[in-house]
Each structure stands twice: as C-alpha cells, then as structure tokens.
Structure 1
Amino acid sequence: MDPVKAARRAGPLAVCSVSATPADSTSSLHQELTVADPAFVVTTVAVFALVALIARGVTKL
C-alpha cells in the first residue's frame, strides 16, 4: 500500500542571513521570550477574572 503523502525531495541548501549572525537572533529570541512571559501571565489572569465575573453573575440569577 502506498503512503498517503509521498516524501518530497529536498532542494538545494542555502545560507540564511539570520543563521549567519547568531548573536543577533539569540538576543532577539531572548527579548521575545522575556516579553512573552508577562503577556501570558496577564492574559491568564484576565481570562480567570472574566470567568469569575461570569460565575458571579450566574449565581445571582
């Protein structure tokens, strides 16, 4: 039986400018992760606050 998706042949490899400068990409990656953590915490707290408000409103019905 044949596979559903046939394997693709890889094309020629090329050098990317981002991989040529690892210091810059590591720095920006660290900065993105630093910003992502507080954003995740704030979003999580906001979602739980919204759920709490909805639950409080439902109990008053």
Structure 2
Amino acid sequence: MRTADAASPAVLHRDAKTAPVLEESSVLDVIYVVATIALFALVALVARGIERL
C-alpha cells in the first residue's frame, strides 16, 4: 500500500517540469495587471481631454 508521502520519480519529475510554468504564469499575471492599470490611465487621460473640449 502506497502512502501519500512516497512519491514516485515520475511524479517528482513532472513537478520539476511544471515549476517554471508557475513562474511564467505569475510573471504574466503581473504583466496583465500593469497593462490593465495602464489602459485605465489612458482612458482617464482621454476622458479628461474630451472633458476640456
């Protein structure tokens, strides 16, 4: 009977392969957040310019 603590080498190898994917995913999350903030700032700037017309 296998326990949860005894991981096979295949499972460990798979986990090692998915680690960089998690790092890339978090970097993409930061890029999306920054892009969203920049988009809202651009919309606010355009709205302020239209308001002055």
> Normalized against structure 1, the TM-score is what?
0.61
Structure 2 gaps, min length 5: 1-7
Alignment correspondent of 1:28: 17
State the distance in 2 between where 1:58 and 1:28 align. 46
Q: Identity over aligned residues, as a percent?
A: 23
Structure 1 position 29, deviation (Å): 1.9
Give the AA of the match of 1:24: H
Matched, 1:52 2:41: yes
Structure 1 position 43, deviation (Å): 1.0
CA deviation profile, 1:1-49 (whole Å, cap 9, x unmatched): xxxxxxxxxxxxxxxxxx8711221112211111111111011101110
State the distance in 1 between where 2:17 and 2:32 align. 22
CA-based RMSD of the aligned residues comes to 1.7
The count of aligned residue pairs is: 43
> Normalized against structure 2, the TM-score is what?
0.69
Structure 1 gaps, min length 5: 1-18
